[in-house]
Amino acid sequence: MKYEYDDSMHLHLDYFGEEYDMESIAYKRKHEDVWDVFFNFSFYGISPSKMQENAYMDEYAGYRVFSVHANDLSWEFGSAKFEEWLLGHGILEKAVQK
């Protein structure tokens, strides 16, 4: 990873749909008003196509999929952005139901 994250600042973002419950995790960058949102494609049975190698954090968090410019990220706003990302990239259609 090319960014450093504040270990004390992370947020679990959720999507609760009729058929799917999905989660991502956002980490606050050190010394920046930016939160990077990570999604674990493999947990949902999705191949992470077109993902950059330097966007991978670890087997728990997965890949950085988007960022939010904010000093303090609320669960409501972050989860709304996560839902936009899921729907905009057709992730729900690709996921294996858990």
Band of pLDDT at residue 18, cut at 50, 70 and 90: confident
From 19-23, 58-62, 76-80, the region with the lowest mean pLDDT: 19-23
Domain ranges of the chain: 5-94
Band of pLDDT at residue 1, cut at 50, 70 and 90: low
Alpha carbon distances (Å) from 46 to 28, 29, 55, 92: 25, 26, 16, 10
Looking at residue 34, what is its pLDDT? 97
CA distance 71 to 49: 30
- Cβ contact 64:50 at 8 Å: no
Place of tokens 């992470």: 48
Q: What is the pLDDT of residues 25-68, one digit of tens each?
A: 999 999 999 999 999 999 998 888 777 777 999 999 999 999 99
Average of per-residue pLDDT values in the chain: 90
